[in-house]
Structure 1
Amino acid sequence: MKNLINKWNKISLVKRIIVGLIIGIVLALAIPNTAKPIVIFGSLFVGALKAVAPMLVFFLVIAAISSHKSGQQTNMKSIILLYLLGTFLAGFVAVIVSFIFPITLTFGSGVNDVTPPGGVVEVLKALLMNIVDNPVKALFNANYIGILSWAIILGVALKKASSSTKTMISNVSDALSQVVKWIINFAPFGIMGLVFDTISAKGIESLISYGQLIVLLVGCMAFVALVVNPLIVYIGIRENPYPLVFKCLKDSGITAFFTRSSAANIPVNMGLCKELNLNKDTYSVSIPLGATINMGGAAVTISILTLAAVHTLGIEVNIGMALLLSLLSAVSACGASGVAGGSLLLVPLACSLFGIPNDVAMQVVGVGFIVGVIQDSCETALNSSTDVLFTAVAEFSKARKEKIKNK
């Protein structure tokens, strides 16, 4: 048994996940009733990730800020600017693509058990309240905006603490990172359970019926990942961007695709940053921050689903409204982690721009949940891989400018 486990662990994680994916599909199509107990693997996997991710972000940020030495230079301003620019451009591209390839939806039953935010003011108020949320409550509810704000405050407060205290906090963050790696090693079984549950409950035909929407969502995210982001990278480093882009997609995007959690993918991203020889003082803060506010994939989802509803209802949209939607989707996406239900529950807010009734908007959310097994995976892969990409671009760009200056 020990030899078998060792051989299994020697296989790359991606190959193991593919095996779990195939087994889940086969069991769901062949013996859905007999194999139903394997659903528990998916529930345990997701539950474990949800349980450890908030604590991981909390201690990582505290450790990074408290151990930062005065005078050490970081590129946080450039990275935050890249995060915001990337999120806005992703939403803008989604709007353009939706006009070039307009699609309509077939509405079914409504979604009655979720409550979307009522307007922009309410979203901004929720964001501000999440910032000052009780830290224990923020950890319990996985309110990443609150977790991040308290971690920054405590990190600054602990900068003058003793070295032994800082070492203890650093050891806790390292231990939590190791726990996440252990959980991710069980991803093949978790993915098997999740895929089995989705296909056995909804059937493959439920995804095929929304094939056009899935293709538009995935195609738009792929365009952002393979065209928009490389353009940003080229402007920053002035050399072929694709080796860096593909490395981030391969080493970060693939694991994020299957775990469907930017926060749980933080240890993977930190390891990739270390491999790229980036400044630890920078990436130890920028990666947890990116998992919270760098949400290009969410901006794509919000924009495309909203305009699908607009096209379905035959509503005329001018360029000004389209630009406003791009901006709103970017702002909303940055706060998606602080809203229960993530990016999908922000669709009604965007729909309200066009006077779409809430009951219709919630049916759009229902469609989003149906395609979510694919949409959410691609969204997370884009979001998480871009965290490393923009962190690397900021540092490489700074190094290039210093090299030119010293000539």
Structure 2
Amino acid sequence: MDTGSIAWLITATALVLFMTPGVAFFYGGLVKAKSVISMMMMSFGALGLISVLWILYGYNMSVAGSPTAFSGNPFSDFGLGQLATSVGGNVGLLSATYGATFAIITVALISGAVADRAKFGSWMIFAGVWATLVYFPVAAWVWGGGWILNLGDSMGLPGVIDYAGGTAVHINAGAAALALALVLGKRIGFQKGITKPHNVPLVLLGAAILWFGWFGFNAGAEWITGLANVGLIVVNTLGATAAAILAWMLVEKFKDGKATSVGAASGAVAGLVAITPACANLEPGWALLLGAVAGAVCALAVELKFKLGFDDSLDVVGIHLVGGIIGTLYLGLFAIDTGFFTGGGNFGQLAVQAIAAFSVLVYSFVIAYLLGLAIEKTIGFRIRNEDELAGIDTSVHGETGYALERV
């Protein structure tokens, strides 16, 4: 590999790693002031734990080897010692590290669904086991030679398109988030307007970091092709996100009378989610439309939790699950050369996209629900009601987010 591609891979890895602190800021600003430490620690806890598990065995599991394999052998190169000493190991280790950043942020995204009410130790157990049973195998299915990657060939249809993680990251995390929200139940006094973001600038900072890092998230894998499609990926990542901001604010204006800064930030994330699987396979005009659709639909979808009665604290379901489904299925209609409207009226692309999306959704939801329920019934997942009312930061971490003293 040429030095330019190596340099880009290192840069992209750093960009995607930075996205997890971005999630911490975004989520941290959205919760109550007395929950901000807990919220941010769930992201930083995932950053530490998933990094270690990925190096020990997660990377091995993410390489399936055949379409019939559930995952790779976790013990095939435990600790990556063989890769480190192999020919080409330098680039191999960089690629493995880049993959780790995706695993980390996928787990961190789930935490927003259980803000204000989850035990940190229980969360860490869930994060490690869920990554092992769900994320690592799903990554193998989608990118590591597994059944989703080969689904089109097996059915005589176009291959599944998931360039950067509509299924493996966003649908995966969103389905798990829904499961945990159901297991942990509603916050005390759950209703519309139960809490307001305690620090809006922190939310905007987190969204800005996410958008910044997302260029590595979407365009990072282009080192494989010598950056052949990087221009299309970059302009689509910009355009879809911008269109989603406008659409979300427009929905807010019609629905509530005011466009909000938190809505703009949420719209940006919805657009980023939707363009993730599609960034390399849409013409820019269709990417703008995708962003607009995702921004509008996700702005409406976040209200479903009040109508359906599940407490997804920070709208992981409404943004990541719904946005991931929109972006994944949209390719079936508008993907370059293979979409229904752009490839001659064939539904084959839509069919494989739907099979991949809903298979990951069901698998992730079921495993997350059973795992969360097992933790809740044994060591407990939810904090005590009195601790929730007093403030989870103090009761769980012995810290406060803001130590204000009079001089």
The alignment's TM-score, normalised by the length of structure 2, stands at: 0.31
Which protein has greater RCO, CA pairs closer than 8 Å, 6+ apart? 1
The alignment's TM-score, normalised by the length of structure 1, stands at: 0.31
Asked which structure has the greater CA Rg, the reply is 1
